[in-house]
Amino acid sequence: MKKKCPKCGEIKSLTDFTKNKKKGYHSHCKECERKWLIGYRNTERGFLKQRYNNMRRNVENHRGRYNKRLFTFDEFLTAFEKHKSIYGMRSAWGPGIDKLDQHLPITTITQGTRRANGQKAPREWSNLSPDRLDSNRDYTLQNLIFIRNDENKRKSNSSYEDCKIQMRLHEERFINMEAI
């Protein structure tokens, strides 16, 4: 059987459409859906929605504990807006808000999950990576920090300077009780 995609106008095999339990098949073909999804994820809201959903998919950590996300998407958006009002589109990981020029810029670029040849798309190291300031605690607004992928990866090999930054941020959040 064949079906016409209203987006691209092409008549395609049903295998080119995603199955839908309620309607049978989606109205748009897989290729048009993929293009739309990449376009949506390249908006700030779409990129943040993807990151928010990824927090929910966290698997069991090395201590046998599942990390919970204890805020809504709207609260997450509000927290990011507050971050931007303080840091702009720069990472919170740095010497402090009095030296923002030393904080690295954050991007929100989605390249898709796969290349045409089926290989995974390379990670954009400057992209936003919402993370937990204290890895032993759940995802809460107080424990949420907006940094870059490369900074998040580097946390496992923290330098002395990184530790000082993390201690300052930890004091702000958990001692002075300043949420995002």
Residue 20: inside a domain: no
Residue 135: inside a domain: yes
Neighbours of 87 (CB within 10 A): 18
Cα angle at 47 between 178 and 21, to 5 degrees? 120
Count of domains for the chain: 1
Res 158 pLDDT > 80: no
Task: Read off the CATH number of the domain in which 46 is found.
Answer: 3.30.40
Q: Give residue 133's domain range.
A: 36-175
Res 149 pLDDT > 70: yes
Residue 6: inside a domain: no
The 10s digit of each residue's pLDDT in 50-105 is: 999 988 765 565 556 677 889 999 999 999 999 999 999 999 998 888 899 999 99
Tokens of 79: 């927290």
Residue 1: inside a domain: no
The 10s digit of each residue's pLDDT in 116-141 is: 676 777 889 999 999 988 877 889 99
Contact (Cβ atoms closer than 8 angstroms) between residue 72 and residue 52: no
Tokens of 136: 């032993």
The 10s digit of each residue's pLDDT in 13-55 is: 999 999 988 878 989 999 999 899 888 988 999 999 999 998 8
